[in-house]
């Protein structure tokens, strides 16, 4: 895979709480680049925007777009793809990902996971949604979670679902 196959990823910090995590942008870039290199999807010449927000910001997005009035860890908004190629050199948008700091921090602490591992997982999860994966049924969830495990393993991150399997 060449750098031309990796989507351009812009990270926008919209909440001051992310200042504590100075490496967040690097973590997100690495996670998305690794994911893009391991999936069979046309992600070259495309662009992604990742918004690092807080619980209040993601709660508003969750309420407005999903009708769920509570914060969540990550939301993905796949871009509608034009029927014809865009004019000029404009990149093709894959979509947007929003990640909430407080929920991500709380989950990492509760699950005794390093924050950077959990952030990587959420970035990978959001990216996979942008390229068409979902977990609406058991079969799709199994496929998506397996791909997440493989990508995270490539990043040196343990299986994020191992604890879930033990609880069942």
* Residues making up the binding site for Zn(2+): 125, 129, 135
**Contact status, residue 94 vs residue 130, Cβ threshold 8 Å:** yes
Structure tokens at 31: 């996670």
Question: What whole-number distance in Å separates Cα of residue 46 and Cα of residue 60?
Answer: 27
Question: Which 8-state DSSP code applies to residue 6?
Answer: S
Token pair 């996670």 is at which residue?
A: 31
Annotated binding residues:
125, 129, 135
Q: Phi/psi class of residue 21: alpha, beta or left (left: φ > 0; alpha: ψ in -120 to 50)?
A: beta
Token pair 């921090």 is at which residue?
A: 105
């Amino acid at each position: 895979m060449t750098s031309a196959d990796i989507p351009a990823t812009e990270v926008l910090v919209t909440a001051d709480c992310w200042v504590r995590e100075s490496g967040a942008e690097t973590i997100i870039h690495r996670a998305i680049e690794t994911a893009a290199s391991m999936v069979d999807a046309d992600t070259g010449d495309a662009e992604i925007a990742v918004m690092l927000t807080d619980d209040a910001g993601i709660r508003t997005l969750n309420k407005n777009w999903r009708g769920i009035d509570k914060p969540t860890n990550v939301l993905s908004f796949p871009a509608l793809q034009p029927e014809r190629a865009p004019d000029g050199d404009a990149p093709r948008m894959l979509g947007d990902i929003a990640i909430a700091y407080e929920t991500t921090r709380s989950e990492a602490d509760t699950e005794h996971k390093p924050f950077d591992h959990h952030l990587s997982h959420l970035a990978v999860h959001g990216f996979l949604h942008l390229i068409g994966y979902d977990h609406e049924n058991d079969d799709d969830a199994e496929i998506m979670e397996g791909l997440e495990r493989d990508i995270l393993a490539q990043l040196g991150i343990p299986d994020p679902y191992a604890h879930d399997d033990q609880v069942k």
